[in-house]
Amino acid sequence: MINLTGYKHGLVSLKVAISNQALRLNQFPFFAFYCLRKRTLYERMDNMPLALTLMAAATSLSAATCSPATYAALTAPKDVNEKPYALSCSVTLKKGDNIPRRIILRGSAASGVEIDCNGGDIGYDGIIAPQRGNDNKTGNPLYNPTILISSQKNGKLWSKPSDIHIRRCNVYGNIRTSSIDPSNLLAESRKKDFTKFLQKNSPNKITVSQSSIIGFRHIPLYIGAGTTFFKFENSSILGKGEAGIYLDFESGNNIISGNNFQIVTNREVIAVDGSANNVISNNVFKLYNFDGIHLYRNCGENGIIRHQPPSYNVIADNQFYSQKNNINFVIVNSRTGTTKTKNIRDPKICNLDKGYKFGSSISDEDEGRHNIIKNNKHLYNKLSNN
């Protein structure tokens, strides 16, 4: 058993645990962030690679390789009326092959799946994709994301996917993680352990690397409620969309690093909505009309109580390029307060979650604290060609 009395002692015990196999390796990510949290905030900043190293040390599940029949079905010519393909095996595309269809990775059956596109595509140019709101309520499978990574209910329990890796892919449309059904979220959010419950039952340890997501009108990468340890690295987000990345409520410990954002948005490029303990580092942002990153917490939306504030996030070593000098690069607690003419919050929405003694039910404020914004470069009147 590891003694977690202190950071240095924890590292020594960690080495012992590795050599003795006394600790399950898939617990390392949690221990990594524990170590970082035990130190001062600025010391954490200097040791961000520790989290990445320990996360990489975690054992991964491994799914079986797809059969020739499954490979043929995945790479068959597109059918715009086709339902999403449920995938539970790993596939590496041959050079020149593509997957011109939607994919669902659902429940623990999808754990350990690796998709290596070898430079090929998933989806296709012009694929229909949902906007938030009415599109998501239709239940039409043709409005599913290009790649949906989702938990699944088995009896009274939830089965979640984990250890999924998508690499070297051009994804047309969007990628989204999804936790428990919306019909269950409302009731669960009334309980004090909502954050713990949601994170326990939501997708985790998902990696997207060396890839690009080409958006059309949606949010290209939606890291859904409760999702933890999602890594988006060394990749690009292009095209158009409402935002580039959305980190939804009760998610956390996600890493967005080494990416290039060249997406034209209708709002900030990255929205951190009630998401905590994330690292956003070493990215390049090309800002056209709107801000770079907003940290906030929604209130009252659909009556769901948001428990977790946008706290303990690290935003560091990013480069922001813009031709306009009225663009903000990072705003913490962006929805707290008032404008010159009105409250930022809409009481008609925020009052929908009232009556409980925690989270957004008792406070409509963002309440983000202990965030580190450090070593970012702001370059006005200039857009990077990278």
Mean pLDDT, to the nearest integer, of 376-385? Answer: 77
CA distance 37 to 110: 31
Does the pLDDT at position 55 exceed 70?
A: no
Report which of 309, 296, 299, 273 is spatially closest to residue 351, judged by C-alpha positions: 299
Q: Which residue has the tokens 């600790």?
A: 23
| Per-position b or e across 183-211, b if 16+ CB within 10 A of its CB | eebeebbeeeebbebbbebbbbbbbbbbb
User: pLDDT: is 353 or 130 the higher one?
Assistant: 353
Alpha-helical runs (H) found in 153-295: 182-188, 194-200
Per residue in 63-76, pLDDT tens?
999 999 999 999 99
Strands ordered across the beta sheet of 377-379: 121-122, 170-172, 212-215, 236-241, 260-265, 284-287, 319-322, 377-379
Per residue in 144-166, pLDDT tens?
899 999 999 988 899 999 999 99
Report which of 23, 7, 1, 45 is spatially closest to residue 281, judged by C-alpha positions: 45
For residue 63, report the phi and psi dihedrals to the nearest 5 degrees: -85, 155
CA distance 380 to 234: 24
Domain residue ranges of the chain, discontinuous segments joined by +: 7-57, 68-379
Does the pLDDT at position 11 exceed 50?
A: no
Mean pLDDT, to the nearest integer, of 292-301? Answer: 90
pLDDT, the chain, mean: 82
Mean pLDDT, to the nearest integer, of 118-137? Answer: 72
Per residue in 211-270, pLDDT tens?
999 998 889 999 999 999 999 999 999 999 999 999 999 999 999 999 999 999 999 999
User: pLDDT: is 337 or 61 the higher one?
Assistant: 61
Report which of 205, 103, 114, 110 is spatially closest to residue 159, judged by C-alpha positions: 110
Q: What is the pLDDT of residue 25?
A: 38
CB 194, CB 144: distance < 8 Å: no
**Poorest-pLDDT segment among 14-18, 142-146, 308-312:** 14-18
**Poorest-pLDDT segment among 134-138, 177-181, 225-229:** 134-138
CB 263, CB 239: distance < 8 Å: yes
User: pLDDT: is 329 or 32 the higher one?
Assistant: 329
The DSSP result for 106-133, as a single string, is ESGGGTT-EEE-TT-EES-TT---PPTT
